[in-house]
């Protein structure tokens, strides 16, 4: 598939038979217990909106150590790397990283550092990331606490995280947890993403910037 983002066209390859992949993974009840569902196979509108935001913040990320949390097919990791950031891109699924790496080669982008990682068990150096970003990662309430713990561990003291989300109700719980946990969040960007393949209508996506609250 091809998508316009950050001022250029991106070609993305993904699993050929998505229905077969979903059937295979959902047949195993353990995949439900451990959230191992193949959401990574889709390109979500939040990723396209986040890619545009990264392009607008190129001076802020170029040359800096950044992390893409839940990179999926790799679009925002590739955009960040192309814009000059030193990107580590992590996902819970090895297959996602395989396709993301192929997409880097397909688009002539230097490979980010791809890492298989569970955000509940951070495998990055403490407070080392100048910027962390993720597209539509807050789609279940149970992710709120683990994501906040990950940010606390990985984000540099003066760093910022950018989370793109399409208006899911669970995000209100995340904002509440931010406020109670010594963080501040503010909406910095709103984008209308046109339909992507099977997506029937445009989607409005908001990008939030998260920082530690100043004492």
Q: Each residue of 77-134: pLDDT tens digit? A: 999 999 999 999 999 999 999 999 999 999 999 999 999 999 999 999 999 999 999 9
- Residue range 21-50: mean pLDDT, rounded: 72
Residue 148, domain extent: 2-212
What does pTM read for this prediction?
0.91
Q: What is the DSSP letter of 123?
A: -
Q: Is a pLDDT exceeding 80 seen at residue 20?
A: no
Q: pLDDT tens digits for 157-200? A: 999 999 999 999 999 999 999 999 999 999 999 999 998 876 67
What is the rounded CA–CA span in Å between residue 118 and residue 69?
A: 10
By C-alpha distance, which of 83, 148, 156, 88 is closest to 120? 148
User: Which CATH number goes with the domain that contains 80?
Assistant: 3.40.50.150
Question: What pLDDT band is residue 14 in, cutting at 50, 70 and 90?
Answer: confident
Q: How confident is the model at residue 25 (pLDDT cuts 50, 70, 90)?
A: low
- Split into its structural domains, the chain has a count of 1
Q: Check pLDDT > 70 for residue 23.
A: no
Q: What percent of the chain has pLDDT over 90?
A: 79
Using pLDDT thresholds of 50, 70 and 90, give the confidence band for residue 27.
low
* Distinct helix (H) and strand (E) counts, the chain: 8, 9
Q: What is the predicted pLDDT for the residue at 164?
A: 98
Q: For residue 154, which of 186, 187, 111, 121 has the smallest C-alpha distance?
A: 121
DSSP letter at 40 equals G
Nearest to 107 by CA among 211, 176, 5: 5
Spell out the SS3 assignment of 129-168: EEEEEEECCCCCHHHHHHHHHHHHHHEEEEEEEEEEECCC
Average pLDDT of 24-50? 73
């Amino acid at each position: 598939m091809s998508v316009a983002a950050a001022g250029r066209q991106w070609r993305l390859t993904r699993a050929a038979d998505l229905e077969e992949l979903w059937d295979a993974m959902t047949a195993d009840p353990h995949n439900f217990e451990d959230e191992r569902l193949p959401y990574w196979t889709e390109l979500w509108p939040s990723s396209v909106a986040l890619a545009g935001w990264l392009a607008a913040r190129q001076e802020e990320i170029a040359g800096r150590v950044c992390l893409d949390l839940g990179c999926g097919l790799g679009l925002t990791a590739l955009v960040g790397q192309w814009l000059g950031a030193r990107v580590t891109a992590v996902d819970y699924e090895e297959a996602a990283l395989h396709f993301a790496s192929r997409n880097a080669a397909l688009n002539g982008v230097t490979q980010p550092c791809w890492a298989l990682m569970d955000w509940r068990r951070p495998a990055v150096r403490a407070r080392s990331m100048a910027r962390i970003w993720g597209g539509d990662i807050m789609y279940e309430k149970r992710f709120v606490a683990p994501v906040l713990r990950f940010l606390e561990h990985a984000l540099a003291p003066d760093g910022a995280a950018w989370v793109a989300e399409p208006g899911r109700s669970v995000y209100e719980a995340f904002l509440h947890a931010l406020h109670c946990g010594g963080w501040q969040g503010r909406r910095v960007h709103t984008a209308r993403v046109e339909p992507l393949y099977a997506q029937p209508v445009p989607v409005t996506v908001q990008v939030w910037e998260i920082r530690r609250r100043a004492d």
